[in-house]
A and B are shown apart, each in its own frame.
Chain A
């Protein structure tokens, strides 16, 4: 009998793109709402973003079943933290927790590509970017998912000062205003939607600042 290969994979890629940009006193986290499998669309209206704590928002692309499982684990762990410490987790603390949770499944990973955005303990915007097994770094901006190869170089070009490409980064966060950053995000997704078949339908934007959290939507091309 000829050698057989596995024809079943526990993973699937539901596509989509996520972006986060940190500012002096705000953070923008955005993701498209298209969920696909292969060349088919499963739904045009699925949120990849979740608010884990007062000042922490996570956007994840990849295999949405693993994403949802990861979200539930983090939500439960946050409740435990609140009971023990009588306060919400800070964004840097949540960042470490996410890293540890991902590495916990190092040998059967969550197929989840995450960006965590929020405000740090000083009220400054922070963005953390991850790979599937928990390697993470605090950055001024990041994108993950199927459109990230199209968006990341564009952000490097537009957000020059927090870019790590001029080593070291001149600013930790972008000097742009909140509305400028939101416009930049919309531009990113409009462009990515043109060339990435897995990105489109609708864009969900969350803005986190001292006043609280704000949600915004923008239509994207549906083809």
Chain B
């Protein structure tokens, strides 16, 4: 993308009918670290890569609980993401207060999208520079939506955003037909595999990723580091090739567990201030 004369104002159209400021905002999302989401009939899993600026700093929080039945993963300007998460939480609380029931996910994303659209049509504002993967459950089932800075949103079976997300998308494009009927464990496994694709060979450990789940009988919660590391070891995804078929990890998991158990304590990426 190169600079041109129609990109200064968000309220200026280009002759080709584009709003460059909005498109630049979507670029910001692509620069953020990867976040992915996948959905089955009964569960939604969100996972993100948490890179710290340096070994001395803590990791950026990219997955937020919005309500018991909704969570969001963000990529891009995380400060914008935090502010929007606060808005989403507030909307859920107000809806619960008024109607004593849970805000349907579809309603929330529409409100979010309309809020984003406002920033594309006011000269004194700028678009939000964050993409949101909203995962949640309501009466009509499990949902995964992607909200982008333009004010558009779509529902997805699986989605990835942020840097090197295409690798994760490729993996999920191959497997997505199995997701609807997938069990909770397999869904998390696929999320970890997809996340690993975005690391391009770097070792996947629980210290650089965050995984969260929401399900039919399960409130939205972020899995703790020990659980995630155990899953990574169990599925043997640490540094090896993703198996071409489903059967392989199950067999390998059994006898490799003894060897894989060593990998946990020796992971080298843990920052001193890891929260």
Contact = CB atoms under 8 A, between A and B. Distances in A.
A76 interface: yes
B96 A76 contact: yes
For B65, B93, B96, which residue has the most chain A Cβ atoms within 10 angstroms?
A: B93
Interface in B73-102: 86, 89-90, 93-94, 96-97
For A72, A73, A75, A79, which residue has the most chain B Cβ atoms within 10 angstroms?
A: A79
Interface residues of A, number: 7
A83 interface: yes
A79 B92 CA distance: 10
A80 B93 contact: yes
A76 B89 contact: no
A62 B119 CA distance: 48
Contacts of A73: 97
The DSSP consensus for interface residues of chain A is helix
The DSSP consensus for interface residues of chain B is helix
A76 B96 CA distance: 8
A75 B93 CA distance: 9
Contacts of B65: 83
A65 to B, nearest CB: 15
Contact of A72 (B86, B89, B97): B97
Nearest to A83: B89
Contacts of B90: 80
A80 B92 CA distance: 11
Contacts of B86: 83
B92 to A, nearest CB: 8
A72 B94 CA distance: 10
A75 B90 CA distance: 13
Interface in A64-98: 72-73, 75-76, 79-80, 83
Interface in B54-86: 65, 86
Interface in A20-74: 72-73
B101 to A, nearest CB: 13
A73 B89 CA distance: 15
B64 to A, nearest CB: 8
B194 to A, nearest CB: 28
Nearest to A79: B93
B110 to A, nearest CB: 22
A83 B67 CA distance: 9
Contacts of A80: 89-90, 93
A50 to B, nearest CB: 13
A73 B65 CA distance: 21
Contacts of A72: 97
Contacts of A76: 93-94, 96-97
Nearest to A73: B97
A139 B51 CA distance: 50
Contacts of A83: 65, 86, 89
Nearest to B66: A83
5 contacts: A76-B94, A76-B97, A79-B96, A80-B90, A83-B65
Given A75-B97, A79-B93, 14 more contacts: A72-B97, A73-B97, A76-B93, A76-B94, A76-B96, A76-B97, A79-B89, A79-B96, A80-B89, A80-B90, A80-B93, A83-B65, A83-B86, A83-B89
Interface of A: 72-73, 75-76, 79-80, 83
Interface of B: 65, 86, 89-90, 93-94, 96-97
